[in-house]
Amino acid sequence: MSGWVAEGPLRTGSHNGALELSGALDDEEFGDHAHWTFWCPEEFPDGIRISWEFLPIAEPGLAMVFFAAAGHGGRDLFSAGLAPRTGYYPQYHAGDIDALHVSYFRHKHESERAFRTCNLRKSAGFELVAQGADPLPPTEDAVDFYRMEVVKDGPRVAFAINGLPLFDWCDPSEKVLGGGRIGFRQMAPLKAAYRNLRVQKV
């Protein structure tokens, strides 16, 4: 993970050879400031397929992936001219960055666990643009890693888990996001493992 950028109280470890990620602060004490985002150092073009394997280990919590992330006006996500980010969620959906993100393990709150969906949002603005059913089970029923896949190709965004298509959305707006950074985010106290991240041209 050399070069990756952590924003917020992230703790890293190992889980059977995979990367284990969790929060370093008690969410009951620190609330929304106990969550974090972890950015890949590479900047990617548009027209890519992002895939990785995900295993929830301990919940409750929430997991999401950011992509096509950049500062307003096309500035680099890590530009010194952008406001500092500490993992606090409004900095990502209502701050000075543009991004798409999929929340795909929404087991943090009781209402999310009662009716489970994967949500695609476009920011800045926190606009819910697509939604699909979430097939991921609670941690006690997860016996192996799940293969996650996002396709970002111009206005099109598609998301699948283990090859099961969950949504396929085409941005109808005049502001279609292009290339940018990829980042992973969790809401404490979720503990999860990741492996086999791959980014390919489509």
Domain harbouring 135, CATH code:
2.60.120.200
DSSP symbols for 67-104: EEEEEGGG--TT-TTSPP--S-THHHHSSSEEEEEEEE
Provide, rounded to the nearest whole percent, the portion of the chain with pLDDT above 90.
97
Percentages (nearest 5) of helix, strand, coil residues in the chain: 10, 50, 35
Q: If pLDDT is split at 50, 70 and 90, which confidence band does 109 have?
A: confident
Model pLDDT, residue 1 = 84
Q: If pLDDT is split at 50, 70 and 90, which confidence band does 2 have?
A: confident
Whether residue 137 lies inside any domain: the answer is yes
pTM of structure: 0.96
Overall residue count recorded for the chain in this entry: 202
Q: Is the pLDDT of residue 26 over 90?
A: yes
Model pLDDT, residue 87 = 96
Average pLDDT, the chain: 96
**How many CB atoms neighbour CB 169 within 10 A?**
17
Q: Give the range of the structural domain holding residue 124, as residue numbers without chain letter.
A: 5-78+88-201
Express each pLDDT in 166-175 by its tens digit.
999 999 999 9
Whether residue 187 lies inside any domain: the answer is yes
Whether residue 180 lies inside any domain: the answer is yes
State the average pLDDT over residues 59-74: 96
State the average pLDDT over residues 8-13: 97
Whether residue 122 lies inside any domain: the answer is yes
State the average pLDDT over residues 5-20: 97
**Number of domains the chain contains:** 1
Residues 35/18, Cβ–Cβ less than 8 Å: no
Whether residue 83 lies inside any domain: the answer is no
